[in-house]
Amino acid sequence: MNKRAAIYLRVSTREQSTNAQRAELLTVAKRAGWEIVEVYEDAGISGAKGRDQRPAFDRLLKDATRRRFDIVMAWSVDRLGRSLQHLVVTLAELQAAGIDLYLRQQAIDTTTPSGRALFQMLGVFAEFERAMIRERVQAGIDRARSAGQRLGRPKLGDAKDPAKKRPGLADAIRASLEEGVSIRRAAKIHDVGVSTVQRIKAAA
């Protein structure tokens, strides 16, 4: 059965065009016999921005978890993200969903044996990334304590707020966000709702 492919396009400014990226990736898909099910495009958005600020990219990853396609195609690795941390998280999410990846400029195709070896290596990088987040979160808590911020038991009226029920949670979430972790991923890491993370980010 032919693979279902999704194309992700991104340019950093409105003056730039995704036409060249689109044409080349469509040609590759046709040659490989892949069916394009959707094109996701973020125009005028920097790759340094998090997932929550790149609507098409966010929708792409959500659709990946729903298995709407079998492979994601992009012009270059920097279309997916500008930081190693963001890139590792993205590739780990695709791998967990069983989605392949094709990157034109880096000649990466995880439908091939060499490409699959790349995905296997991601587990090591993903664990390293999680360890770094935990270390920086703890450093954030330590800084808060040294600055005299109260991290003890919550007041009685705060019982319904997860950030106040769990000492140090708000500082840990803020530390994650400062490291570039998206709102949804921060919520998953700290086992809270997205609204809790959004509230903490807004109050920062």
Rg (CA), the chain: 19
pLDDT of 5-44, one tens digit each? 999 999 888 788 889 999 999 999 999 999 999 999 998 8
Catalytic residue (one of 12, 17, 176, 182): 12
Q: Please give the single-letter amino acid code of residue 75.
A: W
Both structure tokens of 199:
């509230």
**CA–CA gap between residue 57 and residue 8 (Å, rounded):** 7
Q: What percent of the chain has pLDDT over 90?
A: 27
Average pLDDT over residues 82-103: 81
Q: Alpha-carbon distance 22 to 31, whole Å?
A: 14
Q: How confident is the model at residue 166 (pLDDT cuts 50, 70, 90)?
A: low
pLDDT band at 156 (very low <50, low <70, confident <90, very high): very low
Q: What is the rounded distance in angstroms from the CA atom of residue 20 to the CA atom of residue 192?
A: 41
Instruction: State the pLDDT at residue 40.
Output: 96
pTM of the model: 0.60
pLDDT of residue 74: 94
Which among 170, 150, 152, 171 has a CA at the least distance from the CA of 162?
170
| Residue 12 backbone dihedrals phi, psi, to 5 degrees | -85, -25
How far is the C-alpha of 44 from the C-alpha of 59, rounded, in Å? 17
Question: Is the pLDDT higher at 83 or at 65?
Answer: 65
Handedness of CA 138, 140, 144, 147 (dihedral sign): positive
Look at 77 and 57; give whichever has higher pLDDT: 57
Residue 157: the pLDDT is 43
**pLDDT per residue over 37-74, tens digit each?**
999 999 888 876 777 888 999 999 999 999 999 999 99
Structure tokens at 144: 């808060």
Structure tokens at 24: 């080349």
pLDDT band at 177 (very low <50, low <70, confident <90, very high): confident
pLDDT of residue 25: 96
Mean pLDDT of 139-144: 75
- The mean pLDDT of the chain is 80
Percent above pLDDT 70 for the chain: 79
176 has catalytic annotation: no
Amino acid 39: pLDDT: 97
